[in-house]
Chain A
Amino acid sequence: MGPESTTGHVRSRREFLTALVIGGASVVVAACSSSPSTPAPAATKPAAGASASAPQPVPTAVAPVTIGKGSKKLEVWHYYGQAQAQPLQKIVENYATVDPTLSFELTFTPGANLLAKIQTAIAGNAVPDIVQTDLVWVPIMIDSQKTLALDDYFKEAKFDITDFFDALLQYDQGEDGKYYAIPMDTNNIQLFYNKKLVADAGLDFEKSPPQTWDDLTEAAGKLTSSSKKQWGLDLGAETTQGAQGALANRHMCMTWQAGSKYFDDKGGRPERGAAAFNKDGGVPAWQWNVDIIQKTKAVPIQPPQNGFVTGYEGMNYNGPWAIPDTLRLIGSKFEMGVISYPGKTADLAGNSWSGGEHFQVFKGTNQDVSAKFIIWLTSPQNIETFAEQAGYIPTRKSVIDGDTYKAWLNKNPLYKAYAANMSKVHPRVPTRLFFDLTIAISNHLEEAIYQKSSVQDALNAAADESLSIMKQKGYQP
């Protein structure tokens, strides 16, 4: 009841209750259909959310960009921030000469909101012609049965899909063996380091970088100083800003760095079967994580905000998407380098999940021209141009092995470790259950981090829950 009641204008109980009932119901139910805004995470952190390869989301609305003057308009939804959207626009402008009958409307939506927007669009039958998706979304989109199989278009265009890295194609190929998406850019996770702090600690990563987990523990210990509020290694937020899925993502990398599988193969295809992370390499991998946080105390559970760029972290587990912003924020304070993330043994260093963005076409009246366009968009020349200008890694083997890209890498050495390790990337749960499984697993991994259960018990519980989720959702591992 409002303050006006003190002057005698008392609303009736029934009116008040009715208002509460309607208001309460609408607000609660509305929560089902609205997607929240998402902040831009710190520049040095992998993007928030379960998908650690998502780009830095830009929280502000950006007006759609129209390209070309053709009468047939293709609507393209994407989540590239400004640094990536501009190279994309330049490439799309070139398509006007290929097909002048087309025009494009590029609509930006922050990465954290785009999947919910697509979900709503599918439910409302208001999908765009083309959509850029995080690679972990692709199986979910395929499952919607609204996206177009591209195999016939590949044949017609003589498009060599096998030139793309297999780990990326694992997402794009449905259970029926058909391709529903094409990789545009990719990334993986390696190790940033602060050259000044490393030198001050008497280390030389250029001559002898840490190559094993033991080396990494030793280096992180030397780089940690509680009196200086300085941490040896930042592995990303454990419990905040998307930590739930992020823990499983990190555990995957380390399990592969121990030479093991995270999930078993299914039908000859990797990482689609039953949980394998609770045996072999998965156990020492997470034990190493727990120990470096709880015993060595060289990794903070909650890393300081912008700790790496302000010079308070020796090393930072990160991807190539963060390099431009990190360099900008570091300024002239110090120099940074990038090395392969160590492995359980030196030969396994650099193993990582694969990240990146793919393009898909929705079924509809414009599906043919849209398919032709994304085939053109992902040509070797465009893939290389985009990677170089946007600061991502090329998705095609022929481009990575090509002389022009190697020359570009020589001028941009911070990207070398990412390009060099593309042969060691793996698909991470390339099924429609990516979020279900990574979040469930992360909840158990978190229990081990906080020492509420042993690593083995936590992993066994995670494996049991994974199996239960698969069964519940009708997925045969």
Chain B
Amino acid sequence: MAIASSRTVKVEQLAKHASWRKREWVSAYLFILPSGLLIAAFLAFPVIYSLWLSLLNWDGMSPRMSFVGAGNYQTLLTSHEFWNSMLVTGYYTLGSVPLRMAAALALAIFLNQKVRGLGIYRTFYFTPVVTSGIAVSIVWLWIFDPTWGIANWVLGLVHIPSLQWLSSPVEAMPGLILMSVWKGVGFDMVIYLAGLQGIPETYYEAATVDGAGRWAMFRHITWPLLAPTTFFILVTGIIGASQVFDQVFVMTNGGPLRSTEVLVFLLYQYAFKFFEMGYASALAWVIFLVILAFTLLQWKFLPQDVT
């Protein structure tokens, strides 16, 4: 009898526990429901819908819509302008990411010292990051003005002949890269600063005792311990550079002679100028796959201790 009673209590306890667990699950799902709905509506659905669109021929407005399967991808991969944009985007990425990282590291090391007015310097270098990309691009249009822009004035001070900047097929992309480095260096700098401040001071003290110089300390302590930070900046930098748009839209419109026609600008043109939403969506997915492939490659080939 006692055993039976004890069993009954146990079963009741288990049932209570199960019920409580169930309620907990329901509560948990209710709590995440608002976020889940938002993610589904504004992230998952558009992503899946754009994949569907990429299989269609549709202008985004008219009722005419036809299924073309992989036709948009086939056209894309055989188009000269797509491969030109790939090269242009690659050029921009290769030009801007390493330069931005190097400048950011140098600035971070400088601002990691005990310098008077440190807060002012940090604010100064970070300000372009939080300034509107459109506004910044307009200012740089003036800076690059071949007739009376500051850029040519500075070159003149060191006896370098004036450049045509944005109106030259050769000089337009370096101009965009220069502006982008200026605009984004503050962000990388802050990340590097955080990385630098995470390195224990004792390592440097020990190295000093061992007679290491500044360069040796940088090479054997700072740089290796910043490797995860560098990897983060590299990956996010490449992703960001692959999606560059604002400055191209405002400053060059992809010209001259398509020398700055980056992938996302090409996508914009197809979506909102030529009204080819299917083709533009296919392009969006190809851009995504390219970025993903590069990220995986970096992951695979960079030393494991970095990641």
Which residues of chain A have a CB within 8 Å of any CB of chain B?
A: 1-7, 10, 13, 16-17, 20-33, 35-39, 48, 50, 59, 115-116, 119, 122-123, 140-141, 143-146, 229, 231, 238-244, 300-302, 304-305, 307, 312, 435-436, 439, 443, 446-447, 450, 452
CB atoms of B61 and A143 under 8 A apart: yes
Residues of A contacting B264 in the complex (Cβ-Cβ under 8 angstroms): 28, 31
CB atoms of A33 and B46 under 8 A apart: yes
- Tell yes or no: B254 within 8 A of A by CB: yes
The residue that B245 contacts in the complex, of A4, A20, A36, A452, with Cβ under 8 A, is A36
Residues of B contacting A25 in the complex (Cβ-Cβ under 8 angstroms): 47, 288
Contact indicator per residue, chain B 231-273, by CB within 8 Å of chain A (1) or not (0):
1100100010001011001111111111000001001110111
Given contacts A32-B50, A119-B275, A435-B273, contact A452 B255 (CB under 8 A): no
Given contacts A31-B264, A123-B61, A439-B269, contact A238 B142 (CB under 8 A): no
Residues of A contacting B280 in the complex (Cβ-Cβ under 8 angstroms): 32
Given contacts A3-B198, A38-B134, contact A239 B228 (CB under 8 A): no
CB distance from A107 to the nearest CB of B (A): 19
Which residues of chain B have a CB within 8 Å of any CB of chain A?
A: 43, 46-47, 50, 53, 59-63, 132, 134-135, 137-138, 141-142, 145-148, 164-167, 169, 172, 191-192, 194-195, 197-199, 225-226, 228-229, 231-232, 235, 239, 243, 245-246, 249-258, 264, 267-269, 271-275, 277, 280-281, 284-285, 287-288, 291-292, 295-296, 299, 306-307
The residue that B277 contacts in the complex, of A21, A32, A305, with Cβ under 8 A, is A32
A317-B251 Cα distance, complex, nearest whole Å:
21
CB atoms of B272 and A35 under 8 A apart: yes
CB atoms of A13 and B134 under 8 A apart: no
Given contacts A2-B229, A242-B253, contact A28 B291 (CB under 8 A): yes
Residue on B nearest A237 in the bound complex, by CB: B167
Q: Other than A17-B299, A24-B292, A28-B243, give 7 A-B pairs with Cβ distance below 8 A.
A: A32-B50, A32-B277, A48-B253, A115-B272, A122-B60, A240-B141, A305-B145
**Which 6 pairs from chain A and chain B are nearest by CB?**
A302-B167, A239-B256, A6-B198, A3-B195, A304-B147, A144-B61
A140-B255 Cα distance, complex, nearest whole Å:
25
Residue on A nearest B53 in the bound complex, by CB: A32
CB distance from A44 to the nearest CB of B (A): 14
Residues of A contacting B284 in the complex (Cβ-Cβ under 8 angstroms): 28-29, 31-32
Residue on A nearest B167 in the bound complex, by CB: A302
A430-B298 Cα distance, complex, nearest whole Å:
50
Given contacts A26-B46, A32-B284, contact A443 B258 (CB under 8 A): yes
CB atoms of B268 and A244 under 8 A apart: no
Residue on B nearest A36 in the bound complex, by CB: B249
Residues of B contacting A443 in the complex (Cβ-Cβ under 8 angstroms): 258
Residues of B contacting A229 in the complex (Cβ-Cβ under 8 angstroms): 147-148
CB atoms of B148 and A304 under 8 A apart: yes
A39-B135 Cα distance, complex, nearest whole Å:
7
Residue on B nearest A313 in the bound complex, by CB: B147
* Most chain B beta carbons < 10 A, residue from A6, A10, A115, A146: A6
CB atoms of A119 and B199 under 8 A apart: no
Residues of B contacting A119 in the complex (Cβ-Cβ under 8 angstroms): 60-61, 272, 275
A144-B145 Cα distance, complex, nearest whole Å:
41
Given contacts A38-B134, A244-B255, A304-B147, contact A22 B246 (CB under 8 A): no
Residue on A nearest B291 in the bound complex, by CB: A24
CB atoms of A239 and B61 under 8 A apart: no
CB atoms of B167 and A238 under 8 A apart: yes
A22-B274 Cα distance, complex, nearest whole Å:
28
CB atoms of A32 and B271 under 8 A apart: yes
Residues of B contacting A30 in the complex (Cβ-Cβ under 8 angstroms): 46
Residues of B contacting A446 in the complex (Cβ-Cβ under 8 angstroms): 255-257
Residues of A contacting B226 in the complex (Cβ-Cβ under 8 angstroms): 6
CB atoms of B239 and A20 under 8 A apart: yes
CB atoms of A59 and B134 under 8 A apart: yes
CB atoms of B228 and A452 under 8 A apart: no
Residues of B contacting A115 in the complex (Cβ-Cβ under 8 angstroms): 272
Residues of A contacting B269 in the complex (Cβ-Cβ under 8 angstroms): 439
CB atoms of A29 and B307 under 8 A apart: no
Provide 15 A-B residue pairs closer than 8 Å at the C-beta atoms, listed in order of the A residue: A5-B228, A6-B199, A24-B295, A28-B264, A39-B250, A145-B63, A239-B252, A239-B255, A240-B251, A301-B164, A301-B167, A302-B146, A305-B141, A307-B147, A435-B273
Residues of B contacting A26 in the complex (Cβ-Cβ under 8 angstroms): 43, 46-47
CB atoms of A450 and B256 under 8 A apart: yes
A159-B274 Cα distance, complex, nearest whole Å:
34
Residues of B contacting A38 in the complex (Cβ-Cβ under 8 angstroms): 134, 249-250
A10-B229 Cα distance, complex, nearest whole Å:
11
Residues of A contacting B194 in the complex (Cβ-Cβ under 8 angstroms): 2-4
Residue on B nearest A434 in the bound complex, by CB: B273
CB atoms of A29 and B50 under 8 A apart: yes
Residue on A nearest B145 in the bound complex, by CB: A305
CB atoms of A1 and B60 under 8 A apart: no
CB distance from B70 to the nearest CB of A (A): 17
CB distance from A343 to the nearest CB of B (A): 28
Residues of B contacting A13 in the complex (Cβ-Cβ under 8 angstroms): 299, 307
CB atoms of B267 and A300 under 8 A apart: no
Residues of A contacting B249 in the complex (Cβ-Cβ under 8 angstroms): 36, 38
CB distance from B108 to the nearest CB of A (A): 10
CB atoms of A20 and B63 under 8 A apart: no
Residue on B nearest A143 in the bound complex, by CB: B62
Residue on B nearest A115 in the bound complex, by CB: B272
The residue that A243 contacts in the complex, of B253, B271, B287, with Cβ under 8 A, is B253
CB atoms of A1 and B167 under 8 A apart: no
Residue on A nearest B137 in the bound complex, by CB: A39
Residues of A contacting B60 in the complex (Cβ-Cβ under 8 angstroms): 119, 122-123
CB atoms of B274 and A10 under 8 A apart: no
The residue that A2 contacts in the complex, of B167, B169, B191, B273, with Cβ under 8 A, is B191
Residues of B contacting A32 in the complex (Cβ-Cβ under 8 angstroms): 50, 53, 267, 271, 277, 280-281, 284
Residue on B nearest A4 in the bound complex, by CB: B198
* Most chain B beta carbons < 10 A, residue from A21, A29, A436: A29
A25-B137 Cα distance, complex, nearest whole Å:
26
CB atoms of A1 and B272 under 8 A apart: no
CB distance from B199 to the nearest CB of A (A): 6
A3-B269 Cα distance, complex, nearest whole Å:
38
The residue that B191 contacts in the complex, of A3, A50, A231, A241, with Cβ under 8 A, is A3
